[in-house]
Amino acid sequence: MEGFLPTGKLEMAFLSDLLAKYTTKDERVAIGAKIGEDAAVIDLGDRYLVTKTNPITFPTDEIGWYLVNVCVNNMVVRGVRPRWMLNCILLPEEKTTPAMVEDIFRQIFEASRKVGVTVIGGHTEVTYNLDRPIVVGHLIGEVARDALVATGGAQIGDIVLVTKAVGIEGTSIIARERGEDLVSKGLPEELVDRAKSFLYDPGISVFHEALMAAETEGVHCMTDATEGGLATALHELAEAGEIGLRIEAERIPVLPETESICGAYGLNPIGLIASGMLILTAAPASVAALSERLDGIGVTCTPIGVVTSAKEGRLLVSGASVNELPYFAVDELTKIL
């Protein structure tokens, strides 16, 4: 690997090599640093302590709201109710006002209060060489030992399901950051306004649906789609579980607003940052009950494929065409922001 690395996640083989070289074993770490696992798990004897850190680096006017919900998503997909949070807030010099800082604090407070999380500390500073705020959250929760859901728990023959639709988060970010440009490209202003509201409706949180799914018999693994979108999350799920996937492209749900906005910029929706979409695998016999339960709280659940053996690969099927599932180390959003 030569030269400078591109924006986005590290290539999986490179990151895997780094983790193998520079992490140590600890008998109390039930799940540690591993590609595809959403959070670390520490064995406290009578229960597990679960912890996760996540940054928000894309420009957004609701950065505190994004921070809390993205971190919470990574925890609830383990079946864990988050409890405590620490945040590192880095602010740009000569651009930071007291009102901006208070707005970020308010957003974090309001979002965390909705999910029962208490902010217990962190760090805030104005620093040089930034052109926008960057925030990093560290979330802590606890769960009974028998209630933990692993990202790597998928079983061959499981049905792969997703909730809501692909690219919800990215659609909202683009509409908020490039609204005038989208209208100038011919998209209706009403469509752009609807896309802006995707942050809240259908929403970037998977809090309720993930905790409900975790309590449903036959659900074997869960993850959420963040940077790199649905496609990259599926790769990480497969890597964690050492399994293969056969995904039906036509079954992936895409909202009209996402389709239009991605079309305007030539973006692939399955590679667009996608908080709000829960990905899970479940035994075929459990799918109907799970879908009914989620429908009861107003969350759609769509089967998009099946878990196969690792030797069969990770495939995206579109009609008669069968190709390797694309991997987006660089999120589609970076093409325009």
Ordered by start, the domain boundaries in the chain are 12-147, 159-335
Task: Give the integer Cα–Cα distance in Å for 292 and 46.
Answer: 33
Q: What angle do CA 223, 311, 303 make, to 5 degrees?
A: 40
Task: Give the integer Cα–Cα distance in Å for 35 and 47.
Answer: 24
Name residue 122's amino acid.
G
Task: Give the integer Cα–Cα distance in Å for 269 and 66.
Answer: 19
Q: What angle do CA 215, 217, 218 make, to 5 degrees?
A: 125
**Distance from CA of residue 124 to its chain's centroid?**
25
For residue 92, give the H/E element and its range.
strand 81-92
Task: Give the integer Cα–Cα distance in Å for 200 and 190.
Answer: 16
Whole-number pLDDT of residue 194: 97
Instruction: Divide the 337 residues of the chain into consecutive groups of 10 and give the mean pLDDT of each group.
Output: 78 89 92 82 94 86 91 93 97 95 97 96 96 96 91 95 96 95 97 95 95 94 92 94 97 98 98 96 97 96 98 96 94 90
Q: In the Cβ-directed half-sphere of 198, how many Cα atoms lie within 13 Å? A: 30
CATH of domain 159-335: 3.90.650.10
Return all residues near 266 (Cβ < 8 A) that are at least 6 apart. Answer: 335
3-state secondary structure of 270: helix
Task: Give the integer Cα–Cα distance in Å for 189 and 272.
Answer: 22
Return all residues near 49 (Cβ < 8 A) that are at least 6 apart. Answer: 41, 42, 140, 141, 142
* CATH 2.30.31.10 fits domain 12-147: no
Model confidence, pTM: 0.87
Task: Give the integer Cα–Cα distance in Å for 33 and 42.
Answer: 12
